[in-house]
């Protein structure tokens, strides 16, 4: 890997007339290349009650194209030892892949074919639908997943983020093949596609390959990107529980709205989150709830990042008999977190960790490509990575306390759980 931190002098960024964007960073000692990126659409484009349509469409893309059937497509990818996959989130569809440097044009040509000319056969439609329905049935018996879905329903209310990307059994069962074809024709196109690539290839060469494979894509029927509706967080505390029979573990989530990902508040809360419990047992809640009280199998805190409203939450796996005790203890820790400044030692330890982890996240082609995607998605400067250590270093204990008080409103907690029926 280059010794220098990726910045505006070493990252190539170029946009094409069709609305696609490429970011490239060289790691010429590597024989491999990793790429990732995103494009329209996300599940927020699911119309009406057709939850799961965007995700279903994406799942169909790798089942064959107008020129290659399922077997031929996958044989082609495997014959060069490459990988290629796609998945749909709330606001976009992501793609990932890696290959040897000499095979980059082959795999990008295949990606272009997969997203532009899918076959949508009846046979694959039935197979994929069965796979999705099986996946939903498995999720519906998973305590962590059910607690998460209950949390999203309670937290997001009428906002599209309330629904799982994969949809529900009743909505997926209603989707017809023609609807997938129509959705693809209307939503898949070059406008808004972002590709980040890192590995053993010169950025100029990557640019030429991108120009030939994705830079020429046109779709005049592509819809404009969906706009997120406004979000109003819950006005008071919400408590809900999903009863699942035969479970010997309950999963618990306690959460509140998080700051905008592109803000100093977010960096401050990120430091606060590490102290609270990002690293499980190393954080405060892990020490108190798991180690001292023995009430949880695992417990950690998570600060969400993304476009639109996100969450700051604590998740825990607990013995069903200890569920209410765990909630009480976690609330006590949150009261402490919002009333007492973190210690200088805690603050310095977490800052040192955060700054120390930064080079580690850049040790792989995948790590760098993923960060380039985030830089583009959130509109950061190409020099963001150089600036980040000094931003982290400047955060004070007072700022951490103020942000804890601002976001952890203890009168408006959303608390959900799933597992054995409550007594």
- Pair 172, 316 in one domain: no
Q: Do 303 and 273 meet the contact criterion of CB atoms below 8 Å apart?
A: yes
Q: Does any domain span residue 227?
A: no
Rounded to an integer, the average pLDDT of 276-297 is: 80
- Pair 147, 247 in one domain: no
pLDDT, position 423? 75
Q: Does any domain span residue 197?
A: yes
- Pair 31, 127 in one domain: yes
The pair of structure tokens assigned to 295 is 């009430």
Residue 115 has pLDDT above 90, yes or no: yes
What's the half-sphere exposure (Cβ side, CA atoms, 13 Å) at 240? 14
User: Which residue, 150, 178, 213, sits at the end of a domain?
Assistant: 213
Rounded to an integer, the average pLDDT of 34-45 is: 97
In tens, the pLDDT along 369-386 reads 999 999 999 999 999 999
- Pair 246, 279 in one domain: yes
Sheet holding 21-26, edge to edge: 12-15, 21-26, 194-199, 32-39, 93-100, 83-88
Q: Does any domain span residue 232?
A: no
The pair of structure tokens assigned to 277 is 């419990």
- Pair 147, 249 in one domain: no
pLDDT, position 297? 85
Q: Does any domain span residue 359?
A: yes
| Vertex 8 angle, CA 6 and 9, to 5° | 85
Q: Does any domain span residue 229?
A: no
Rounded to an integer, the average pLDDT of 121-147 is: 98
Element (H, E) at 416: strand 414-419
Element (H, E) at 318: strand 311-318
- Pair 93, 199 in one domain: yes
**Is the sign of the CA dihedral 103, 109, 112, 118 positive or negative?**
negative
Number of domains in the chain: 2
In tens, the pLDDT along 173-189 reads 999 999 999 999 999 99
- Can the peptide bond before residue 103 be classed as cis, meaning omega within 30 degrees of 0? no
In tens, the pLDDT along 237-275 reads 999 999 999 999 999 999 999 999 999 999 999 999 999
Q: Does any domain span residue 222?
A: no
- Model confidence at 281, pLDDT cuts 50, 70, 90, reads low
In tens, the pLDDT along 311-320 reads 999 999 999 9
Residue 1 has pLDDT above 80, yes or no: no
Instruction: Name the DSSP class of 154.
Output: H
Mean per-residue pLDDT over the chain, rounded: 95
pLDDT, position 165? 97
In tens, the pLDDT along 336-368 reads 999 999 999 999 999 999 999 999 989 999 999
- Pair 178, 262 in one domain: no
pLDDT, position 49? 86
pLDDT, position 291? 74
Q: How far is Cα 3 from Cα 420, in angstroms, rounded to an integer?
A: 53
In tens, the pLDDT along 385-406 reads 999 999 999 999 999 999 999 9
Q: Does any domain span residue 28?
A: yes
214 CB-near residues (< 8 Å, 6+ apart)? 20, 108, 111, 112, 190, 193, 195
User: Which residue, 147, 180, 213, sits at the end of a domain?
Assistant: 213
pLDDT, position 2? 47
Can you give the residue range of the structural domain that contains 130?
12-213
CATH number at residue 83: 3.30.830.10
- Pair 276, 354 in one domain: yes
pLDDT, position 280? 53
Q: Does any domain span residue 209?
A: yes
- Pair 125, 168 in one domain: yes
Percent of the chain scoring above 70 in pLDDT: 98
- Pair 207, 244 in one domain: no
pLDDT, position 287? 86
């Amino acid at each position: 890997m280059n010794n220098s931190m990726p910045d505006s002098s070493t990252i190539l960024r170029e946009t094409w007339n069709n609305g696609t964007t490429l970011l490239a960073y060289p790691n010429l000692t590597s024989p491999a290349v990793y790429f990732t990126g995103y494009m329209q659409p996300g599940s927020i484009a699911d119309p009406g009650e057709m939850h799961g349509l965007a995700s279903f469409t994406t799942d169909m893309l790798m089942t064959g194209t107008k020129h290659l059937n399922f077997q031929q497509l996958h044989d082609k990818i495997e014959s060069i030892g490459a990988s290629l996959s796609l998945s749909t989130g709330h606001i976009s569809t992501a793609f990932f892949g890696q290959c040897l440097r000499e095979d980059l044009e082959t795999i990008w040509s295949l990606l272009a074919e997969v997203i532009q000319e899918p076959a949508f056969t009846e046979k694959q439609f039935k197979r994929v639908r069965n796979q999705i329905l099986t996946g939903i049935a498995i999720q519906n018996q998973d305590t962590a997943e059910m607690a998460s879905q209950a949390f999203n329903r309670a937290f997001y209310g009428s906002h599209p983020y309330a629904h799982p990307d994969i949809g529900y059994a009743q909505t997926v069962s209603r989707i017809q093949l023609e609807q997938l074809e129509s959705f693809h024709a209307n939503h898949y196109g070059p406008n808004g596609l972002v590709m980040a690539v890192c590995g053993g290839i010169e950025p100029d060469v990557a640019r030429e390959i991108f120009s030939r494979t994705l830079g020429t894509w046109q779709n005049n029927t592509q819809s404009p990107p969906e706009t997120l509706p406004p979000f109003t967080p819950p006005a008071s505390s919400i408590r809900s529980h999903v009863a699942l029979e035969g479970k010997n573990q309950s999963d618990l989530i306690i959460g509140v709205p998080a700051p905008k990902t592109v803000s100093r508040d977010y960096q401050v809360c990120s430091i606060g989150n590490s102290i609270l419990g990002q690293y499980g047992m190393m954080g405060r809640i892990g020490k108190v709830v798991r180690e001292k009280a023995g009430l949880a199998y695992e417990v950690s805190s998570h600060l969400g990042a993304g476009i639109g409203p996100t969450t700051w939450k604590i998740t825990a796996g607990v013995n069903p008999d200890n569920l209410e005790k765990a909630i009480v203890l976690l609330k006590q820790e949150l009261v402490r977190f919002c009333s007492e400044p973190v210690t200088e030692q805690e603050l310095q330890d977490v800052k040192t960790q955060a700054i120390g982890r930064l080079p580690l996240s850049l040790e792989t082609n995948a790590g760098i490509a993923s960060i380039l995607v985030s830089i583009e998605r959130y509109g950061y400067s190409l020099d963001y990575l150089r600036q980040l250590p000094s931003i982290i270093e400047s955060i004070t204990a007072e700022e951490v306390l103020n942000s804890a008080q601002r976001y952890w409103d203890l009168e408006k907690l959303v608390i959900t759980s799933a597992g054995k029926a409550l007594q």
